[in-house]
């Protein structure tokens, strides 16, 4: 079990009191319910008020939940709205394409797989829901990295001359990756050519929220042999249609 930080635990103990009691609480109430020292309680309450996690009534001296927690709750709810949309769109795109469809988010230098619908032949890929893979070796990751700022790219890849590799075709340096990201921005679609898995190709496209920000990406993955049975534009059109529908569900204007 990881080592837990006592100060953070005390702060969470205070916040969790408000889950069980909808009425405002005074500082003495918090001391009594948590058993924490009075001085510590006053310091923690003052900090939570300053950061807007709690709101203090200056007349009664009592505390209630603050606006920052509402914002966190809305962000959490939005993630679930995204998951629902991801699953709906992925199922539809997998049905229309007959291939494996994945949805991922960008977290640091990795992609985090949010949803995945397998093809009928259970294509063997290194990805699964909840798993992370290096963003630079996946179509999904490149579709997301293409819209990151140069400063963000530098922070995500602190060793620009030694990016993670999964196959001999993986892009290994930021200098190699940046021109490809520019092409992705021009076309609105990213490709993976056996960079995470031998004999697998992928087309991926960015997904935007109501503000226009790129928040996710969706992809179609399939064996090279099946990819070559259709023009490249066939797969591009399918994934762009999926990304457009996904973006619409998140509030991006069509």
Domain at 23, CATH number: 1.10.10.10
What pLDDT was estimated at residue 33?
Answer: 94
> At which of 65, 90, 112 does a domain end?
65
Residue 161 lies in a domain: yes
Residues 34 and 122 in one domain: no
Residue 1 lies in a domain: no
CB neighbourhood size of 58 (10 A)? 6
pLDDT digits (tens, 9 = 90+) for 106-161: 999 999 999 999 987 767 787 889 899 999 999 999 999 999 999 999 999 999 99
Residues 117 and 27 in one domain: no
Q: Name residue, tokens 């529908």.
A: 245
Q: Name the residue range of residue 219's domain.
A: 78-249
Residues 107 and 19 in one domain: no
Residues 143 and 218 in one domain: yes
Residues 217 and 137 in one domain: yes
Residues 145 and 228 in one domain: yes
Residues 209 and 240 in one domain: yes
Residue 121 lies in a domain: yes
Residue 71 lies in a domain: no
Residues 61 and 111 in one domain: no
Residues 36 and 13 in one domain: yes
In residues, how long is the chain? 254
Total number of domains in the chain = 2
What pLDDT was estimated at residue 2?
Answer: 72
Residue 157 lies in a domain: yes
Residues 56 and 155 in one domain: no
Residue 73 lies in a domain: no
Q: Measure the CA–CA gap between 66 and 56, rounded to whole angstroms.
A: 9
Identify any residues that bridge with 199 across adjacent strands, giving them in sequence order: none
Residue 137 lies in a domain: yes
Residue 72 lies in a domain: no
What pLDDT was estimated at residue 122?
Answer: 67
Closest CA to 108 of 50, 59, 148: 148
Residues 103 and 147 in one domain: yes
Q: Measure the CA–CA gap between 24 and 171, rounded to whole angstroms.
A: 56
Residues 151 and 238 in one domain: yes
> At which of 65, 100, 115 does a domain end?
65
Q: Write out residues in the chain with pLDDT < 70, as ranges.
A: 1, 21, 77-80, 122
> At which of 43, 65, 87 does a domain end?
65
What pLDDT was estimated at residue 3?
Answer: 83
């Amino acid at each position: 079990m990881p080592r837990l930080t006592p100060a953070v635990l005390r702060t969470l103990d205070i916040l969790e009191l408000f889950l069980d009691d909808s009425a405002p609480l005074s500082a003495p109430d918090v001391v009594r319910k948590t058993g924490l020292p009075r001085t510590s309680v006053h310091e923690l309450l003052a900090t939570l008020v300053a950061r807007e996690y709690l709101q203090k009534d200056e007349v009664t001296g009592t505390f209630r939940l603050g606006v920052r927690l509402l914002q966190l709750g809305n962000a959490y709810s939005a993630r679930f709205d995204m998951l629902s949309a991801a699953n709906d769109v992925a199922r539809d795109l997998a049905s229309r394409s007959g291939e494996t469809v994945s949805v991922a988010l960008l977290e640091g230098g990795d992609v985090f797989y949010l949803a995945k619908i397998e093809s009928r032949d259970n294509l063997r890929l290194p990805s699964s829901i909840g798993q992370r893979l290096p963003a630079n070796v996946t179509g999904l990751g490149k579709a997301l990295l293409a819209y990151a700022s140069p400063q963000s790219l530098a922070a995500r890849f602190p060793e620009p001359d030694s990016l993670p590799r999964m196959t001999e075709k993986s892009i290994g340096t930021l200098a190699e990756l940046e021109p490809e990201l520019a092409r992705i921005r021009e076309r609105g679609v990213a490709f993976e050519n056996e960079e995470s898995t031998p004999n697998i190709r992928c087309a991926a496209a960015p997904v935007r929220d109501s503000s226009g920000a790129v928040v996710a990406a969706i992809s179609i993955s399939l064996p090279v042999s099946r990819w070559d049975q259709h023009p490249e534009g066939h797969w591009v059109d399918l994934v762009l249609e999926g990304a457009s529908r996904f973006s619409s569900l998140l509030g991006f204007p069509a």
